[in-house]
Amino acid sequence: MLQLTSTYKSTLVTAATLAGIILLNSACVSSGKYKDLEAENATLQRANEMIVERDMALYETNIILSDEISMRDEELALLESEQLELAVELEAFIIAGTIKMQLMKSGLNLYLDESVLFESGSATIKPSGVDAISGLVDELEQIPYQIVVIGNTDSVPVGPQLAERFPSNWALAAGRASAVVALMADEGIPKQQLVAVSFGDTQPIASNDTPEGRAENRRIEVRLRPIIKDSGTE
């Protein structure tokens, strides 16, 4: 009977010890999980703060862009008004037949009669052409445009007498566009606003099968494109 009692007590001690170990392990596990959750919560909180900061930055950027768009719209409206005023001021040239004009969304296109500017096969501007360009510059020099001068020819190949100086229609058209640009610069247009381009015979606006069509294709185009100031550079 005494032996049974001792065994029973021993069993109780072992059970109590095991229970203590289990509780200790449970406490350790709970503590570890708590720390993990605490770290995860801190990470989520920081991520949320970063999202808030990003949203605030995007909001501020949107306000800045909205202001810039509004300023650009105002500038474009002003430039459109200036183009219409310029069209009125060029009316005398249009009536005289020196210039044809086309108002585009991208800007103003002017078409100059090549016969007024150059002798056949020449890239030297004749006196009547100098007068026409000088008068045009008087109207353009106060307005912030990029001025693209484009030389165009008909499809008739360059003759042997001109081939040494102008080996192709490309070269002839380039020489004429460059001559107009040089004169505009001499008359006061800032050089950084001027561009000379040659299309040669690649951009006809009429048939090259008739003398009248070829005459229309031999032309100087002046494309006026508004220069929008970059507010970031001011």
Q: Is residue 95 part of a domain?
A: yes
- The domain that holds 218 is classified in CATH as 3.30.1330.60
Q: Which domain holds residue 181?
A: 90-227
Q: State which H helix or E strand residue 123 sits in.
A: none
Q: Does residue 233 sit within a domain? A: no
> Is residue 79 a part of any domain in this protein?
no
Structure confidence by residue, pLDDT tens digits, 100-145: 888 777 778 899 888 889 988 889 999 989 998 998 898 887 777 8
Prediction pTM value: 0.63
Q: In terms of DSSP H, where are the helices of 97-168?
A: 114-117, 127-140, 160-163
Same domain, 207 and 127: yes
Per-residue confidence (pLDDT) for residue 208, from 0 to 100: 96
Instruction: Please state the domain count of the chain.
Output: 2
Contact 46, 53 (CB under 8 A): no
Residues of the chain scoring pLDDT < 70: 1-34, 59-60, 62-83, 92-96, 228-234
| Contact yes or no for 71/50 (Cβ under 8 A) | no
**Six token digits for residue 203:** 């951009």
Same domain for 66 and 95, yes or no, is no
Could you tell me if 119 and 168 are in contact, meaning their C-beta atoms sit under 8 angstroms apart?
Answer: no
Q: Which of 25, 48, 74 is at the close of a domain? A: 74
Residue 135 included in any domain: yes
pLDDT in tens, 13-25: 555 555 555 555 5
Same-domain check for residues 187 and 119: yes
